[in-house]
Structure 1
Amino acid sequence: MKLFKYEIYSLAILRIITAFLYMQHGAQKLFQYPPGGHHQGPFELLSLAGVAGVLEFFGGLCILLGLRTRTVAFLLSGQMAVAYFMFYATKDFFPVVNGGELAIMFCFVFFYFIFSGPGAWALDNVIKTRLNRSKVD
């Protein structure tokens, strides 16, 4: 299969923008920043919201950096699937009505990263290159 010349760069841009947007949900839960939005007020770190905040912020950071992309994407895709069925699907069948479109989009973009990998500009690529170099030496 012939790949588009700039495919790895467009994949990297998708990864970085997705991670940046995802991290904001975790930042609101963990640090109440940026202010406003859905997640306000303190909560227990080991609560469902606390664990979600940790996954969203630090998992998003790993995706942003392209660090352990496939593994972290697997976890985050699962988190978003669980979130959708726990909090949105019970309200209505249609995502546009139940408000779960963003959870579905994050779920499937992360699912895509499981198979595509990080694209360009990723720490995974640096690590792989260094490991291959050390095997040759």
Structure 2
Amino acid sequence: MDSFNKMLARFEPQVLSIFRVVTGLLMFQFGVAKILKFPPGTPFEKVQAFSLFGVAGMFELILGGLLILGLLTRPVAFILSGEMACAYFIEHFPRNFIPLLNGGNLAIMFCFSCLYFVCAGGGPWSLDALIGKKG
């Protein structure tokens, strides 16, 4: 089992970068839906720019894009983690205590995924890593 763990551990940095990109893309899509109203037919079509959902969409659009690129990963992930915690407690928790029943599973996963990036950084395939090598 130890050799299997060692074999997989070689890929941890790259998988961290892939996980960051996928998480960023998923956050970014919510921002696109809320702010750019794309694709048509989402439940976010009536979100207004300066409403609570609109401001959340701006965070998700801009910071989700930065997360995809791996630029300022730790502070961006910190803000997004907090946003998702707020989203959970404002939108989901009042409906029901149990996440399966209140629809808050995704907000919880985003919150803790971003919290992980705060601690782990963006990985080797990030602009943070590229800038850090030049400095």
- TM-score by structure 1 length? 0.90
Which of 44, 48, 51 in structure 1 is aligned with 2:52? 48
Match of 1:92 in 2: 96
The 1-side partners of 2:16 and 2:66 are apart by: 15
Match of 1:134 in 2: none
**In 1, are the aligned partners of 2:47 and 2:53 still within 8 Å (CA)?**
no
Q: Which amino acid aligns with 2:53?
A: A
Runs of 4+ in structure 1 over 6 Å off = none
Q: Percent identity?
A: 45
Following superposition of structure 1 onto structure 2, how do residues 62-81 of structure 1 map, counting pairs within 5 Å? 62-81=66-85
Q: Which amino acid aligns with 2:62?
A: F
**In 2, are the aligned partners of 1:69 and 1:113 still within 8 Å (CA)?**
yes
Shift of residue 127, structure 1, vs aligned partner: 1.1
**In 2, are the aligned partners of 1:22 and 1:60 still within 8 Å (CA)?**
yes
Deviations 1:38-72 (A, max 9, x none): 201251x3321221011001100000000000000
The 1-side partners of 2:100 and 2:47 are apart by: 29
The 2-side partners of 1:115 and 1:10 are apart by: 15
The 2-side partners of 1:42 and 1:111 are apart by: 27
The 1-side partners of 2:74 and 2:21 are apart by: 14
Which of 117, 121, 128 in structure 2 is aligned with 1:124? 128
Shift of residue 78, structure 1, vs aligned partner: 0.1
Q: Which amino acid aligns with 1:14?
A: F
The 1-side partners of 2:53 and 2:47 are apart by: 10
Deviations 1:73-119 (A, max 9, x none): 00000000001000000000100000000000000000000000001
Q: Which amino acid aligns with 1:21?
A: L
**In 1, are the aligned partners of 2:35 and 2:57 still within 8 Å (CA)?**
yes
Root-mean-square deviation (CA, aligned residues, Å) is 1.4
The 1-side partners of 2:47 and 2:27 are apart by: 20
Match of 1:38 in 2: 43
The 2-side partners of 1:37 and 1:46 are apart by: 19
Aligned length: 129
The 2-side partners of 1:117 and 1:42 are apart by: 32
Deviations 1:21-49 (A, max 9, x none): 11110001111012222201251x33212
The 2-side partners of 1:46 and 1:130 are apart by: 39
